[in-house]
Amino acid sequence: MSLIIQDAGLLTIMQTVKKQTSTEQQNNEYNGAVDSLSPMLANKLVGNDVEEPTLEMSGQPGVIQFTEPTIIAYSGGDFKGQVNGEKIEPNRIYHMDRGDVLSFRESTRGSRLYLAVAGGIAVEKSNVLKSGDEVTMRRNYTALHDEIFHMMSNKRKVSWGIGIYSLVEVYLSDIYHIVKRPDVPDEVYEQLEEREYTVTQEDNRIQLSVDGQMIEFAGEDCVNPGILGGVYLNDQLPVIALNDFDAETSLTHIGTIPSYHMHKLGQKRRGSKIKFQTIDIDDAHAETYGYYLWVNSLFKAIDYKISKELVKEKM
């Protein structure tokens, strides 16, 4: 059985959490989720492995019909959903029946959502989905999935979810660390830190462009590698490389945003603000470890909530 993409919205793709380069996927672009935290949270909620592929929807999400009962969760931007006139919210577990149609309203925060389906999903052709396409439910169920299905058999949703206050600092902060390059003068980073930039547009999954005061730095005339999170100068203004950025670029590379800030960068909307804070590589390693601990604490909280709900169901 499958999910039917009734309306693909602005951009709906099946995407892996991390970049995949295996030969069986060479006909598709599995360059990883722009916001890698959200698909992991959605997968954790429905009992999947956290790196199970999900549907990434950008801008205006699509409309999806379910052809059999299943369990879903979505995370990312603050998109309010609707199923048969009933409102649903991000970061919660929901039971879908055969024939249910899921749609979304415009987000008030963030630009992407990630939809996870219990047991996983797969596509047979392009991972860029169009209206009318079908996405196969793999039904790779575990004992945990069986328990969750039983728990949700007579209700649409559970009473708990990941609260917005658990994610406020992560997603709402406008400050982004940038790891310095040793060959870039300190004056460049002083200029970056004292200024605020406004997001002007995102070229779909390629780069984020900003407007603001120009950076006075010419750099060397050479080809630079395209690095995820790389901050480059284009006409003396920063552009930030996203997942589908070119492997090589003639733009001047002045630093890199660490992985632990990339998920919130992937939720930036036009008109939102960005402020840079320079750090060295040792600080980036320490912050990365702290982020790892924080994410695992979220996973443990979800495990606890699910186990508590299962115990309550058996009483």
**Residue 304 three-state SS:** helix
- Distance (Å, whole) CA 305 – CA 46: 12
Could you give the percent of the chain with pLDDT greater than 90? 67
pLDDT level of residue 221 (50, 70, 90 thresholds)? confident
- Whether 295 maps to a domain, the answer reads no
238 close to 219: Cβ distance less than 8 angstroms: no
- Enumerate residues 6+ apart whose C-beta is below 8 A from 301: 162, 166
136 close to 123: Cβ distance less than 8 angstroms: yes
Which tokens hold the place of 274?
């960005």
**Claim to verify: residue 85 and residue 64 sit in the same structural domain:** yes
72 close to 137: Cβ distance less than 8 angstroms: no
**Claim to verify: residue 118 and residue 160 sit in the same structural domain:** yes
What are the pLDDT digits (tens) for 158-178?
A: 877 776 666 765 666 889 999
**Claim to verify: residue 8 and residue 134 sit in the same structural domain:** yes
**Claim to verify: residue 83 and residue 218 sit in the same structural domain:** no
Is the Cα torsion angle 173, 276, 107, 60 positive or negative in sign?
negative
Give how many domains the chain has, as a whole number: 2
What are the pLDDT digits (tens) for 108-123?
A: 788 899 999 999 999 8
- Distance (Å, whole) CA 284 – CA 271: 27
Range of the domain at 213: 173-279
| Beta-ladder partners of 66 | 3
Question: pTM here?
Answer: 0.92
